[in-house]
Chain A
Amino acid sequence: MIRPGFSIFLISAAAISYEILLIRLLSIIQWHHFVSMIISLALLGYGASGTFVALTQKWFVPRFGIFFIGNAILFGLTIVGSFIIVQQIAFNPLEIMWENRQFLRLLGVYLALFVPFFCAANCICIVFIRFKDQIHRIYRFDLLGAGVGALLMVIMLFKFSPATCLKILGAAGPFAAALLALSLHVSWSRRAALGFMLFGCTAPFIWPQEWVSLRISEYKGLSLALRAPNAKIISEHFSPLGWLAVVQSPTIPFRYAPGLSLNCSMEPPPQLGIFTDGGAFSPITWYDGSREHIAYLDYLSSALPYHLLEGPEVLVLGAGGGMDVLMALYHQAKNIDAVEINPQVVELVRRMHADFAGHIYQKKKVMVHLAEARGFVTEGKKSYDLIQVSLLDSFSSSISGAGALTPSYLYTVEALQEYFHRLKPGGFLAITRWLKVPPRDALRLFGTAITACQKLGMDDPGQQLAMIRSWKTATLLLKKDVFSKAEVSAIISFCHERSFDAVYYPGITKTEVNRYNLLEEPYFYQGVTALLGKERNEFVNRYKFHISPTTDDRPYFFHFFKWRTLREILALKGQGGLPLLEWGYPVLIATLLQAAIMSFVLVLLPLALLTRNIMAGRQRGRIIFYFFCLGLAFLFIEMAFIQKFILFLHHPVYSASAVLCAFLIFAGLGSGFSKRWSENFERLRACANGLPIATAVAGIGIISFLYVIFLPLMFQHLMYLSNLWKIPITILLIAPLAFCMGMPFPLGLSKVAYARPDFIPWAWGINGCASVLSAILATILSVHFGFNLVIEIALVLYFISAVILWRPLDKTT
């Protein structure tokens, strides 16, 4: 049994590693919104395999060895092969609202990536059926492998490029086949095992490099930058936080100065471009210590707070290549604390390109901190005259809505409150965002700041807020105390000298807005005054975009879409109205639809067509409903906690790895425990029918409830720790919840096995379908209603399922 166990361990580890790796790979070649699709298609692979193996077991169980080995080899080959096919499919999400073929291509991507998961699941399912008597042992190997795999990929991503990780993972299939061959005790097993081992060793090298090289969307910033003559990548750096490409473009320099005043006659000095995952851009600006060469920085809207302060103590959040640090140096800041999450970015500025960057990160007054912005602010003690939140995302991704489904904890009510607490008296928080017309980001930011002010106990937030706009950016100021008349005058002068428009400052009137960069209506001014007025809620409700304040529970700052506006936007397609819609959202809806269709076609339809005893009779509804509810509820909670822990672990890949690892291992342990536990219940004759499930559900409810209330507080106190500590803490926190969540499924299944064993494939199938849907549905619900509501819905579903199977299933039906 040990050898099949190790084979299963290897397959499970590789499958979950592949899931994590795909999140990285698709983030690089496309954008960051495929997380739920990948989780969904992994589950579809398992669901479809459950149906396939259940229906074909009489042919394949006697040929167990061949079936396992064949699928393991196919798994190894398709890990790489499927990704190569995906790169060949000309899927362009930017075109999805223009061309229906893109939906078909998205389906092609979905199906291609489904295959490796289907093969991996075939290996696992056939072992479960072949070794029925040792099912709990196999399950342990399966879940342990999955848990280890989730963390293993994070470690691998520190050491290897994503393409290399892909090739290495491809070797897992042949090695698993070799291990299984050794356990078969047939004449050819040793020779076959040796052959598979050799294949496994050579597998990473069989793929030509150009086949697996990442083909980044030609519309991403990096691809476009490399089109310039003589532009080239001069260094690349990999980590789970992202793929960094440093680009030099000597012939046509970058000249990054977003929204530079038209009154500025200076040109930015040469810059190197740091691209993260081929998209987000941060420049390293050439600096020789001369203020004259960086004087253009004073013509950006983000320079405003320096005109209200003298020699300030500055905190720059998201320092990146150092543009905001340079701005602070230009304005003779007294001291600058620069916070950057990615150590590789800091190394680029501090060592590799230190001469080019003028050693800015080594200057006496500059202190660089390797930390995540929220964590640094929450745990630090120092106060600042200015906290500057950098413009971190790229304009094209912001304007097109690529980040609509990416949570951002930098711009939430809670975040703004924490920033506020770190301001000195008279200090400013400054946040700059890209400008969109009609306004979206700017109004949401302003509204979020108002809510933060109200929560901080301010009676009149309007006295402490100001906002200006250039033609491409908007800068918000939140002051620790009320603006003085001199400060308001300084804002007016700053805007006048640069032809920037004031959106709001205390005492502003309608005649003072919309002067330089003319809009048909003073939309920004109208918006912020409505937000400050009594009719705020009505305004937010009537506004055609979602601009309600973002919170840690619903941190989707870049999601503005409202369903009721869809028809109007689609009608304006011919007149250039489509950019009013963020494309990330239609892609998600398309993914949900195709997941629904594919899970029906691949999981339920074969069952309906090929099983003679179709679900009939009185029991049908109860069984279907029970397993459907469980499928939805489990993934709702899992997905909500993956998103919640991004705040704690700072990156979706860390969060997905740690939370998935914990759920897999401890739900597995819970499942194993549930068998012995229910047997004890039956021995004691203590309402054995419904009590075990109800008890597990009660456990889930209590723990989830406590986490909803206390997790924010725990995060606040533990935020300062490094991820080396935070990942084990995450696993420990998830453990009891996952342990309880692992129980209702096997408990329900044992009831079905007792009453109607012929319904078991259906129970698996329906649960699988619900899981496939819920991975995506959870994201949609989170975007609209927040994580806590998703958890609450899951708890209601668990409660319903406990009620459904409270009464025993009737064996006679």
Chain B
Amino acid sequence: MNKCRVILFTFLVGIVSAGMAFSSDSDEYRAKRERMIEEIEGDVKATSRRIGKKELSKSVMKGMANVPRHEFVPGNLRRSAYENRPLPIGYGQTISQPYIVALMTDLLDIEGDDIVLEVGTGSGYQAAILAQLVKKVYTIEIIKELGEQAKGRLEDLGYKNIAVQVGDGYYGLEGLAPFDGIIVTAAANHVPPPLIKQLRPGGRMVIPVGGAFMTQQLMLVEKRNDGKIITKQVLPVIFVPLTGGH
């Protein structure tokens, strides 16, 4: 009988402590995520003149606040997941700085009914943010291992409106085009012509330009309703190259 009590007691203690650990773990990440959001909001205010608005879209910030970034980074980097910095995710790829992710998402100017294409799934974090904002996200990853990992991760986290494909993103997904927004996070030496065709008139495409850990500027491609293409180089920071008066 005593033996049974000991087993029961141990079992209960185990459950309670596991629950506490789980709760404190998620609380810790939630608190970090909130700090990250505050930091992004502060950075947005600091660069409001450059990006042309005082704050990013509320839905974008809500999406950023909801997605558990620590689930998208390697286990040994979870503690750094909410620092405002890019992190390595293996295979020579990185998960972008949260501020840049928020800015790119905002630049897409998407709405609830939109369908978005992402080229370069990486960890799946950007897709998860987009999935909070739009009807459907199609994402293509060139590296098989990364694509499969991201697919599993997004399924585990319950994202139903993301379709991950492993393959060549250069041709986009012709059968599912046009897209309201396209984001090309894979390094591109030129904008693939098929992707421009697959952009809906009035849609936007965002391409971060730079190397690993280094998003130099964001290239924004706008397809006007008349089909005309306009591109803009958006520098994420306010940095006036001349000192004194300019």
A residues lining the B interface (CB < 8 Å)? 92, 94-95, 98-99, 218-220, 223-224, 227-229, 251-252, 255-260, 262-267, 395-397, 399-400, 436-439, 471-472, 499, 516-520, 523, 539, 542-545, 564, 568-569, 572-580
Contacts and interface: CB of A to CB of B under 8 A. Distances in A.
Contact of B46 (A227, A471, A568, A575): A575
Contact of B235 (A262, A400, A516, A520): A520
| Nearest 9 pairs of A and B residues by beta carbon | A260-B190, A396-B211, A576-B236, A218-B92, A438-B241, A579-B214, A577-B237, A219-B212, A579-B216
A255 B188 CA distance: 10
Range, interface on chain B = 35 or more
Contacts of B97: 574, 576
Given A262-B231, A264-B193, A543-B241, A228 B236 contact: no
A517 B231 contact: yes
A543 B242 contact: yes
10 contacts: A94-B213, A224-B187, A255-B190, A259-B190, A262-B221, A267-B192, A396-B210, A539-B242, A579-B214, A579-B216
A258 B99 contact: no
B161 interface: no
Given A219-B92, A227-B91, A437-B233, A267 B187 contact: no
A281 to B, nearest CB: 9
Contact of B47 (A259, A266, A575): A575
Contacts of B232: 517-519
Interface string B190-215: 11110011000000000001111111
B40 to A, nearest CB: 8
Nearest to B92: A218
Interface stretch (B54-62, B82-90, B131-139, B173-181): B82-90
Contacts of B241: 438-439, 523, 543-545
B211 A94 contact: yes
Given A258-B190, A471-B231, A520-B235, A576 B242 contact: no
A542 B189 CA distance: 32
B142 A252 contact: yes
B143 to A, nearest CB: 5
A667 B103 CA distance: 59
A95 B77 CA distance: 14
A421 to B, nearest CB: 33
B211 A400 contact: yes
Given A471-B219, A574-B99, A577-B239, A542 B143 contact: no
B168 interface: yes
Contact of A472 (B91, B189, B243): B189
A399 B187 CA distance: 12
Contacts of B221: 262
A227 B92 contact: yes
Nearest to A518: B232
B229 interface: yes
A407 B236 CA distance: 30
B193 A266 contact: yes
A769 to B, nearest CB: 34
Contacts of A396: 187, 210-212
Nearest to A223: B92
A40 B133 CA distance: 54
B109 interface: no
A262 B196 contact: yes
B129 to A, nearest CB: 16
Nearest to A267: B193
